[in-house]
Amino acid sequence: IKISKSYKLASRDFHPEDTVISIGDVKIGGGELVVMGGPCAVESPEQIDEIARLVKAAGGQVLRGGAFKPRTGPYSFQGVGVEGLVMMAEAGKKHGLLTITEVMTPEYVDVCAEYADILQVGTRNMQNFDLLRKLGTCNKPVLLKRGFSATYDEFLNAAEYILAGGNPNVMLCERGIRTFETYTRNTLDLSAIPVLQGLSHLPVISDPSHGTGRRELVEPMTKASVAAGADGLIIEMHTDPDNSMTGDGVQSLFPDQFATLLQDLEKLAPLV
């Protein structure tokens, strides 16, 4: 069936070949699998340094960690801010990892772009159009997370804002949507992976951590994402999840689980 599309630059009709985003030696999209791992939030220099070491040792390519955290309540830990960007940049450089961090407002795009290799737009900001427009003028790749109630069409139109602003390096991230089910934090929409790859040429990354909210489901949903054709994964891992500063310890893998999972993935798909 032919559906009318309001987006253009994001569409595979417009751009038939897969977009491949090259950052240093790492290629995202076009058949190789990239793994981004790390804590929900950057907490201290020691924490991010140790986790970076473990991500690298396990075979990951990108260190994740939020310096600015979009918390549901205003009294929850909001992230360590700009200092966290500095801590993460140092850990990434020391251990030979690229870095990804969330940017929440247009005003902070420049400083985040100064310190991080990839900028993340969180689910709550997928339709923050001022932020998307600003990211369109930025020279760093963007990982755009799907809004937890967004349709594919809304998701691809959000990507279109960034592309239309002149930034071609956008990856799409399925991180779970809100459904009637409450056992899991979100419902990871695995169909999104092949659907988005059909509609669009942009790389598709899966987030089984936020997609399930439960540590024990991260491994099977990571493997399912790879089987469904994901171009990459973003996975939360923490050295002391029970004492992590956000509530996301419950969905964070222990370092040994993360390492075992990446070993298993090598059998499913070659890592970058």
Q: Shortest CA distance to 40 belongs to which of 175, 141, 132, 133?
A: 175
Q: With CB under 5 A as the contact rule, which of the stretches 15-23, 39-47, 132-140, 223-231 interacts with Mn ion?
A: 39-47
How many angstroms separate the CA atoms of 218 and 210, rounded? 9
Residues that bind ligand PEP (CB under 6 A): 40, 66, 70, 122-123, 145, 175, 210
Q: Which amino acid is at 16?
A: P
Kindly tell me which of 9 and 36 has the beta carbon lying closer to ligand PEP.
36
Output the smallest distance, CB 90 to ligand PEP, in A: 20
SS3 72: coil
How many angstroms separate the CA atoms of 88 and 111, rounded? 13
Output the smallest distance, CB 266 to ligand PEP, in A: 24
Q: Shortest CA distance to 64 belongs to which of 80, 48, 44?
A: 48
Output the smallest distance, CB 40 to ligand PEP, in A: 5
How many angstroms separate the CA atoms of 70 and 92, rounded? 23
Scanning the structure block, which residue is given the tokens 């990239």?
34
The token duo for 57 is 């040792």
Of the candidate residues 135, 248, 255, 265, the single one contacting Mn ion (CB under 5 A): 248
Kindly tell me which of 8 and 178 has the beta carbon lying closer to ligand PEP.
178
Cβ atoms of 165 and 133 closer than 8 Å: yes
Output the smallest distance, CB 66 to ligand PEP, in A: 5
Kindly tell me which of 31 and 70 has the beta carbon lying closer to ligand PEP.
70
The interface partner of residue 194, options being ligand PEP, Mn ion, none and the CB cut-off 5 to 8 Å by kind, is: none
In the complex, residue closest to ligand PEP by CB: 122
Q: With CB under 5 A as the contact rule, which of the stretches 11-19, 45-53, 165-173, 242-250 interacts with Mn ion?
A: 242-250
Beta carbons within 10 angstroms of residue 205's beta carbon = 28
Cβ atoms of 84 and 110 closer than 8 Å: no
The interface partner of residue 211, options being ligand PEP, Mn ion, none and the CB cut-off 5 to 8 Å by kind, is: none
User: Which spans of this chain sit near Mn ion (rule: CB under 5 A)?
Assistant: 40, 248
